[in-house]
Amino acid sequence: MIKSKKIERKSIRVFFAIFPNKQVQKQLIYHSEMLESIYGGHKIKMQHLHMTLLFLGDINIHQIQTLQQIAKIISAKKFELKLDIIGYWKHNHIIYIKAKEFPAELFSLTDSLKIALSENGFVFDNRAYKPHITILHKTICHINTNMIKPIQWYVNQWFLIQSQPTHNGVEYIPLNHWYLE
């Protein structure tokens, strides 16, 4: 008889993000279904629609508590997004939705997070932040247009998420969340 060993994961893939409420999710899904019928590709699952604040990638599982303690001291204000642009990135074949103008509070949150994490020894890709919500992937098109009716999104919390690979794709597991002031 062969005994199976339980494999203990020493690292997990994590990121910080904001997630839209149900009303905003439904509007994003409407656009993704409309665009999918024209351009093909695969729409993002409703529960996976999000705007990444900072992607950390694989970290040691023992660092989760430290991440949560750092996030708890971040002070940032609530904000509203007016999502009004549909765009396409050729290099990774995605259609996304974003805002023409982003509120300063969004960048304040991401900057505070980057500073606090850097000061505590966390390493991450420090490219320029390009906030967006991916709605379709594996597509080919050349769309870059204003939306007829913008989507209003009131943001009052943010999350630490684990990206967990499964046999059905990736699942997002919320590890914690924090409210904006």
Mean pLDDT of 57-63: 95
Res. 4 pLDDT band, cuts 50 70 90: very low
- Is 132 one of the annotated active-site residues of the chain? yes
Question: Over the stretch 66-85, which tens digit does the pLDDT of each residue have?
Answer: 999 999 999 999 999 999 99
Marked catalytic residue, from 48, 93, 132, 177: 132
Domains of the chain: 12-168+172-176 (3.90.1140.10)
- Is 50 one of the annotated active-site residues of the chain? yes
Marked catalytic residue, from 50, 62, 137, 177: 50
pTM over cut 0.85:
yes
Q: Which residues of 138-170 are buried (b: 16+ CB within 10 A; e: fewer)?
A: ebebeeeeeeeebbebebeebbbbbbeeeeeee
